[in-house]
Amino acid sequence: MDAKQLVGQFFMEQNFSINVAISNLRGSGDVQWTNCYSRTCKREEDEYERKQCKLECQWRSANLLVSRMVSLRADCRKSTNPEGCMKTLQDQMLGERVKQRKLRDMISQIRRQKDEARRNQARGQQQGETR
């Protein structure tokens, strides 16, 4: 490794940016959930199953994002403002946990809608048979 690379590496280590790191993690999270959706959800024919699958992919991605954010704590020591870095990280993790809670609620709502639609469909078939 020449001196220029060594200085560049040292400079990068000394100027850790939590915002850049979080942005990179979010970008990879977006790729992850869209890949999950493409692989597993698109082939679902039932609209409720497809919506539920999509939300579950998003939830798993958010869960992984929070786990990866936790691992960034150690890197905050490398930043120019470690306390500010930790505060930003905590705020972002809290936001992701709120997002996860909303996704869980949406998944529950889709499940209820799916169950209601199936009950209505069964009722309609049952009424059609009795006529």
Task: For residue range 84-113, list pLDDT tens digits in order.
Answer: 999 999 999 999 999 999 999 999 999 999
Asked if residues 86 and 16 have their Cβ atoms less than 8 Å apart, the reply is: no
- Asked if residue 121 is part of any domain, the answer here is yes
The least confident of 16-25, 39-48, 86-95, 117-126 is 117-126
Kindly state the tokens that stand for 127.
């009424």
Kindly state the tokens that stand for 42.
């698109």
- Asked if residue 3 is part of any domain, the answer here is no
| Domain total of the chain | 1
Q: How confident is the model at residue 34 (pLDDT cuts 50, 70, 90)?
A: very high
pLDDT at 123 over 90: no
Distance CA 32, CA 26 (A): 10
Residue 80, SS3 per DSSP: coil
pLDDT at 43 over 80: yes
pLDDT confidence of residue 15: 74
- Asked if residue 38 is part of any domain, the answer here is yes
Asked if residues 41 and 57 have their Cβ atoms less than 8 Å apart, the reply is: yes
- Asked if residue 40 is part of any domain, the answer here is yes
Return the ∠ at Cα 121 (arms to 103 and 102), rounded to 5°.
5
Asked if residues 21 and 75 have their Cβ atoms less than 8 Å apart, the reply is: yes
Name the residue range of residue 48's domain: 18-130
Q: Calculate mean pLDDT across residues 46-54.
A: 94
- Asked if residue 12 is part of any domain, the answer here is no
- Asked if residue 86 is part of any domain, the answer here is yes
Please tell me what DSSP assigns to residue 39. Answer: I
- Asked if residue 10 is part of any domain, the answer here is no
More confident residue, 30 or 124: 30
- Asked if residue 122 is part of any domain, the answer here is yes
